[in-house]
Structure 1
Amino acid sequence: MDAAIDRFCHAIDLLIAAALAVMVVLVFGNVVLRYVFNSGIAVSEEVARWLFVWLCFLGAVAALKEGGHLGTDMLVSRLPVAGKKVCMVLGHVLMLYVTWLFLQGSWQQARINMDMEAPVTGMPVSIFYASGVVFSVCAGVLLLLQLVRLLTGQLRESELVMVKESEEQAELEALQAELARSELQPGVDTKGPRP
């Protein structure tokens, strides 16, 4: 199951890269055409805007899978295993509820705008809101799978804290630990040369 999820998220990463490449070509090409040839591609702004929205929502799915979303582990990391599990269950239930609300709203907007045409491309505006539907379904599945793994005891203790440290945070903590060690050792001059 994990291999299928990894392949799915890798496909999402490829779609994000493709969307970003198309956006760069459309926007940069339009800028060059406007300044050099005094013309432009009419659909570039609309398509780039839609791709940006899809890029953000697909990126949110990938971040959710990797634990790269914003959060703080200041409290949860200091709890015992049982406390971490309770917090994770509570967090997942709340996230599933918010995801459900987001799915309902996105689905309603997609249905309402099915017959509306975009001004330049003439494509249905519901494509714009479908990104929220896709995000909600993918995020809901990922959250449910992780909750099932937690409730069946398949998660390791290190996976109970959902937020992963950034590289900068790890470097900062290493520097702070080194500074604390050097202050505890007598005879080590941490202030440097005096004038």
Structure 2
Amino acid sequence: MKKWIDRYCRFLAMIMALLLAIMVVLVFGNVVLRYGLNSGITISEELSRWLFVWLTFMGAVVALHEKAHMSMGEVASALPPSIQRIVRIVVLLLMLWVTWLIFSGSLSQTQINLENYAPVTGLSQGWFYGVGIFFAVSTGVILLTDLWEAIRNMNAPLPPPHSNSHAE
């Protein structure tokens, strides 16, 4: 499963680079057209905002997988190893609960906004709110995998603080 998640996150990183390039072209092109030719790209602002939101959530998925998110590693490492393992499992369960909240809220918002359309692009607002569904499903799989590993390896030695298994 870890290999699939690694590949998925590499794919997301490529998509993020593509979204960033599109945003740069849209925003830079719009600035040049506004100041140089007194015109502009009408969809630039709206589409750039949507791409930025998707890029941010994709980056959060990759950061979670790479363990690059904020944590309380110093606090946990001060605890005895047996307590550290329990705390790790409790933290993963809490993260899964929050992921469920994001999923259910995003699903509701996406369903509510499917028939609402953006003023400039005319795209369904469901695409905007759907990013939360994408995020919750992606992070849910990662968190469930991490939880399974944490439970399965209850007796294994703990990794040193700030280890990044993806970078090794």
How far off its partner does 1:72 sit?
A: 2.3
* Partner Cα separation in structure 1 for residue 150 and residue 73 of structure 2: 18
Greater RCO, CA 8 A, separation 6+? 2
* Partner Cα separation in structure 1 for residue 91 and residue 40 of structure 2: 48
* Partner Cα separation in structure 2 for residue 13 and residue 84 of structure 1: 31
Which secondary structure does the structure 1 equivalent of 2:45 belong to? helix
* Partner Cα separation in structure 1 for residue 71 and residue 163 of structure 2: 9
Q: Unmatched 5+ residue regions in structure 2?
A: none
Q: Corresponding residue for 2:159?
A: 158
Q: Corresponding residue for 1:60?
A: 60
| Partners of 1:103 and 1:137 within 8 A in 2 | yes
- The TM-score normalised by the length of structure 2 is 0.92
- Is residue 45 of structure 1 aligned with residue 45 of structure 2? yes
| Partners of 1:68 and 1:164 within 8 A in 2 | no
Q: Unmatched 5+ residue regions in structure 1?
A: 166-195
Give the CA RMSD over aligned residues: 1.6
Q: Corresponding residue for 2:114?
A: 114
| Partners of 1:34 and 1:40 within 8 A in 2 | yes
Cα distance, 1:17–1:43 mapped onto 2, change above 3 Å: same
75-84 or 131-140, which deviates more: 75-84
How far off its partner does 1:156 sit?
A: 5.2
- The TM-score normalised by the length of structure 1 is 0.80
- Asked which structure has the greater CA Rg, the reply is 1
How far off its partner does 1:80 sit?
A: 2.3
Q: Corresponding residue for 2:95?
A: 95
Cα distance per residue 1:85-138 (max 9 Å; x no partner): 111011011100011001011000000000001001111011000111000000
Q: Report the number of matched residues.
A: 163
Identical columns (%): 45
* Partner Cα separation in structure 1 for residue 104 and residue 132 of structure 2: 9
- Is residue 15 of structure 1 aligned with residue 10 of structure 2? no
Which secondary structure does the structure 2 equivalent of 1:115 belong to? coil
Cα distance per residue 1:29-54 (max 9 Å; x no partner): 00000000000000011110000000
* Partner Cα separation in structure 2 for residue 10 and residue 117 of structure 1: 32
